[in-house]
Structure 1
Amino acid sequence: MSTEVADTTPVIIGVGQYSERVGEPGYAALSYMDLAGRALAEAIADSGASGDVAGAIETLAAIRAFEMSRPDRTPPFGAADNVPRAIARRVGANPARAILTTTGGQTNQQLVGEFAQAIAGGASQCAVIVGSEAISTVLALSAKGEAPDWSEDVPGDVEDQGFGVEELLEPALMAHGAIGAIPLYALAENARRHRLGLGLEEYRREIGKLFAPFTKVAAANPHSAAPVERTAEELATVTDRNRIVAEPYPRMTVARDQVNQAAAVIVASAGLARELGVPQDKWVHIHAVTAATELKLSQRPDLAGNPASLASVDAALARAGKSIADISYIDFYSCFAIPVFNQCDHFGLSADDPRGLTLTGGLPFFGGAGNNYSAHAIAEAVERVRADRGSFALVGANGGWMSKYATGIYSTEPADWSANDRFAVLPKPSGAVPLCAEPVPSAVVETYTINHTAKGAEAIFLGRCDAGERVVGNADLSDPATAAAFNSGEPFGQRLTLTQDERGRTVGRLA
């Protein structure tokens, strides 16, 4: 086979994962850098190389940890001033190019495509993607009043790509209390629920049916943050422990950020893999990677839809010459139910598809390892296709509020990169719905959520004014009729009379 695969063909030669759970045997309260370093060491060992893989790394991209992902966030225990080089030196690497990536869960999957393209074009021979989260340890130590110093001074050049959150900002929604992923996804989820004509409890059962098989995978995964198998009924039933965080989501069905997890992926040219003595049964070929960007949530014509993610998967399958039926192993990004539901709706897949829809156990159960979750999914995909030679795996990686998506397709079957056309960035969708620039007297509700925080319940809605433009507002839950409509789960199509409060927010009451 060695003569059949061109030296410039990009292949994944090693993957690694590392994790720890608070209080369990061997728990060491590792920092972000230490977790990432151990995952990279695992990936180097996984390659089975006889040569010096660490010394061959030319590019190392460090995925931003959540606590480094926004300008207003600072890691509470500090962090390295040069994150990629801090990770590199833990394995004795000294890459020519050190990158701190932008924010987004699609980033690692997209970088596989970018680095593969660079290798196929002869501009690189070996690149690493690595990231980590230590949120569980941060919370555990902070609760005990401990504050270790995780800061490091690391010399060397670094390419800081910035936070990259501009396309994720939704100023109007955030001004009305939709801060963070949970209420933003809940708005889209309720739009889908309305389209299907399902009540709240019925829809929660559908989420439970979707995610119950995920918990079974998570329970068997040694890296899971919550390795407990649960029934669909248990996931769907609202209790004190499984409270509503934002309608329609019970707590157990949203991404779990309290994790200590790291993962790394090494991509190299086939020529270098041969030089390093990487056995060919370790090589995994990259058949396609596509990346897509969606309209902002408040601009989407269909608030339940995510056409960019569907286009990304469709394009990757097409370039790989495969249909979804040809894929043996699937990991759809599952921070919430709707990114998975959207793919299922598109491809006609059921929650009990015998292949499963996750390789890790999913973000609510395996753990939502920040921007780096899909590196774990890629690692699992690589392991699956190595063990089932000739099979194909698909990883769908999501960023923001279904804002960005990247898809990768993997197999031990060789992929011809001679035309270097297996990585594609798709055009952004058109047809954005404009926001009302000025206050309007009324709007019709398209979707909503009731967000539950320490300050109480707050109803957020998206609607249309008579001119067809989008309106963002808060429903006045102090008004009995309005509260009844929203608490019932069926405010869709209701006309609200709008006013502006003292903070300039739009407030709606049932007309």
Structure 2
Amino acid sequence: MIGFPYNKYLNAVIRVNMSSAFILMSHSKAEELNIEKSKRVYVHSCSILDDIWNVTQRPNFHSSPAIKKCVNQALDKSEINLSDVEYFDLYSCFPSAVQIAKKELGIAEEKKDLTVTGGLPYFGGPGNAYTMFSTTEMVRKLREKPESYGLITANSWFITKHAAVVLSTKPSKSYEKIDNSLVQKDINSKTIKNFTETPIGNGKIDTYTVINSRKGLEFALIIGTLENGSRFIANSEKDEALLKRMINSEMLDRKVSVSQREGKNIFNLI
């Protein structure tokens, strides 16, 4: 199924027959094996953070504190700025992942070269192994331009789990694992507590999508806020006129009524 506003060619392609490999070793082992210095690419730093796990409990649906802090930590540990990065590969499962990352990192809107492979919708990646390919291609790029820096990001689930790594042929001064426990605790502290599984009443749409199958329009899915401040999630019924209207008209902040029918939360526009 494909969710509006994206079409097929804006979604990740995971059913591909591809493979990738790289060898990771210490500097001392590379010296012992007499690996050519021109072929060595060093990990300068990496960081891993999660956004709030349940999407419905996030303060909003257009930001990612985790990707911002994750990348900034990696850059700080590498002792470089974003402007020092020559090559980027921002994880590109869907356009929103790239758009949110660009906004959080302060990457100029006009900058377009944000992938070294072509990205998940066009280059593809088997299952969840895409970053194996972005890493191997980044290695090639960095070998072609010695001492330049490359930044690779990854995410999983609903822009939930994030990772960032800085690479360069320039040897790193040192490598230390980043302790993210306090940063993660701060992100988690922003969790919305007032989610209800059984919403009843009027509210507004905070975000939404319309689901399409090969047979056509199926249903809409919204996350919204009731008038009492509670967050909720609800489906529409299979109403083609409603679904076309939701595709052709902006529905953010649109007022809705919500009730339960046959064990499901169902919304209607009001």
Tell me the TM-score normalized by structure 2.
0.90
In structure 2, the residue matched to 1:421 is 176
Question: Is 2:235 the counterpart of 1:470?
Answer: no
Structure 2 equivalent of residue 63 of structure 1: none
Q: CA deviation at 1:292?
A: 0.6
Tell me, in whole angstroms, the C-alpha distance in 2 between the residues paired with 1:406 and 1:251. Answer: 26
Q: Say whether the 8 Å CA contact 1:360–1:366 is kept in structure 2.
A: yes
Match of 2:129 among 366, 369, 372: 372
Contact kept, 8 Å, 1:395 with 1:409, in 2: the verdict is yes
Residue pair 2:63, 2:104 contacting (<8 A) in 1 also: no
**Is contact 1:264–1:375 with CA below 8 Å preserved after alignment?**
yes
Contact 1:335 1:368 in 2 (8 A): no
Cα pair distance change 1:500/1:330, threshold 3 Å: same
Q: More helix by proportion, 1 or 2?
A: 1
Kindly provide the CA deviation profile for residues 58-92 of structure 1, in whole angstroms up to 9, marking residues without a partner as x: xxxxxxxxxxxxxxxxxxxxxxxxxxxxxxxxxxx
Deviations 1:443-468 (CA, angstroms, capped at 9, x unpaired): 21111100012464210000011232
8 Å CA contact 1:287, 1:422 repeated in 2: no
Partner of 1:313: 71
Partners in 1 of 2:135 and 2:86 — Cα distance?
14
Q: What is the percentage of aligned positions where both structures have the same residue?
A: 28
Alignment-derived partner of residue 54 in structure 1:
none
| 2:20 counterpart SS class | strand
Amino acid in structure 2 at the alignment position of 1:421 = E
Which structure carries more strand by proportion? 2
Check whether the contact 2:67–2:104 (CA below 8 A) recurs between aligned residues: no
Gap regions ≥5 residues in structure 2: none
**Which residue in 2 is equivalent to 1:460?**
221
Instruction: Identify which of 192, 197, 200 aligns with 1:440.
Output: 200
Secondary structure at the aligned position of 2:19 is classed as: strand
Superimposed CA distance per residue, residues 136-188 of structure 1 (whole angstroms, 9 cap, x where no aligned partner): xxxxxxxxxxxxxxxxxxxxxxxxxxxxxxxxxxxxxxxxxxxxxx7xxxxxx
Secondary structure of residue in 1 paired with 2:116: coil
State how 1:274-423 maps to structure 2 within 5 Å.
274-295=31-52, 296-350=54-108, 352-353=110-111, 356-417=113-174, 420-423=175-178
What are the superposed Cα offsets for residues 216-241 of structure 1, whole Å, 9 maximum, x if unpaired? Answer: xxxxxxxxxxxxxxxxxxxxxxxxxx
Q: Is the 8 A contact 2:198 2:265 kept in 1?
A: no
Q: Structure 2 CA distance, aligned partners of 1:347 and 1:273? A: 34
User: How big is the shift at 1:350?
Assistant: 4.1
Residue 257 of structure 1: how far off its partner (Å): 1.7
Please identify runs of 4+ aligned residues in structure 1 that moved more than 6 A.
none
Higher relative contact order (CA 8 A, sep 6+): 2
Aligned residues: 263
- Cα 1:320–1:421 change in 2 (3 A) is same
Q: Counterpart of 1:328 in 2: which secondary structure?
A: strand
5 Å-filtered alignment, 1:172-187, equals none
Cα displacement (A) at 1:258: 2.4
Letter in 2 for 1:249: Y
Aligned to 1:169: none
In structure 2, what residue type is equivalent to 1:321? E
Structure 1, unaligned stretches of length 5 or more? 1-181, 183-244
Question: Is 2:247 aligned against 1:490?
Answer: no
Q: Which amino acid aligns with 1:390?
A: E
1:323 CA drift (Å): 1.3
Contact kept? 2:197, 2:233, Cα under 8 Å: no
Taking the aligned partners of 1:427 and 1:464, their CA distance within structure 2 comes to 26
In the alignment, what sits opposite 1:254?
11
Q: Distance in 2 between matches of 1:403 and 1:374?
A: 16
Q: CA deviation at 1:477?
A: 4.9
RMSD: 2.0
Which structure has the larger Rg over C-alpha atoms? 1
Could you say if the C-alpha distance between residues 423 and 266 of structure 1 is closer, same or farther in structure 2, counting changes exceeding 3 Å? farther
The change in CA–CA distance for 1:382 and 1:483 in structure 2 (over 3 A counts) is closer
Check conservation: 1:331, 1:357, Cα contact below 8 A: yes
Secondary structure in 2 aligned to 1:292? strand
